[in-house]
Amino acid sequence: MRIVIAGGHGQIALRLERLLSARGDEVAGIIRRAEQGDDLREAGAEPVLLDLESASVEEVAAHLQGADAAVFAAGAGPGSGAARKETVDKDAAILFADAAVRAGVRRYVIVSSMGANHRHEGSEVFDVYLRAKGEADEYVRGLAALDWTVLRPGMLTNDAGTGLVRLEAHTGRGPIPRDDVAAVLAELIDTPATTGLTLELVSGSAPVTVAVKSVAGN
């Protein structure tokens, strides 16, 4: 498969790129800064220099041509203000989805956040973040041209992955290593029967492949 990942230098994306390239997939990661390219190459991915905050739908779609799947794993990051939650976590996610439709890429997985809700209230930066993520999710879920899956991980950690997770429509809050998020994403890409599902993810007791199979088609 050819898979294009938005936010290609993110912590989850780099882990995902290693997993996908190791299993033989062709992977491209969209990055904003050229100096990030070596990290992607080391992970086995092709760096694509493109700023999703200023690119047009046509420019993004050109890089999605011929892809079998698109993964939105970009984020403004914890140090950013409310404005970039809007321009990255919401607007860039919508742009990437529109570009996938334009390029004819049906399989689309978006990394959201537990608690994301387009109706979330409040004016703090984290409130804006949850609302932006929720608005992006709502937009993607309204696109009939995409075979979408929304993944909402719990509290992200850098602990070593265990390969054991809980993946359900509602899990309740909990931590999840980024390693395990990447493993679940790799499995979701390969499981189109999860199309149309919004799934929460925390650490649990089910092996990743079992957890994904158990929700597929539900």
| Residues annotated as part of the active site | 129
Residue 175: CB atoms within 10 Å:
13
DSSP code at position 91: I
Residue 65: CB atoms within 10 Å:
13
Q: Are 77 and 50 in contact (CB under 8 A)?
A: no
Q: Are 26 and 48 in contact (CB under 8 A)?
A: no
HSE of 194, CA atoms in CB hemisphere, 13 A: 28
List of residues 6+ apart from 104 with CB closer than 8 A: none
Q: Are 71 and 111 in contact (CB under 8 A)?
A: yes
| Collapsed DSSP state (helix, strand, coil) of residue 180 | helix
Within its chain, how far is the Cα of 109 from the centroid?
6
List of residues 6+ apart from 200 with CB closer than 8 A: 114, 152, 153, 154, 167, 168, 169, 170, 171, 172
| Collapsed DSSP state (helix, strand, coil) of residue 2 | strand
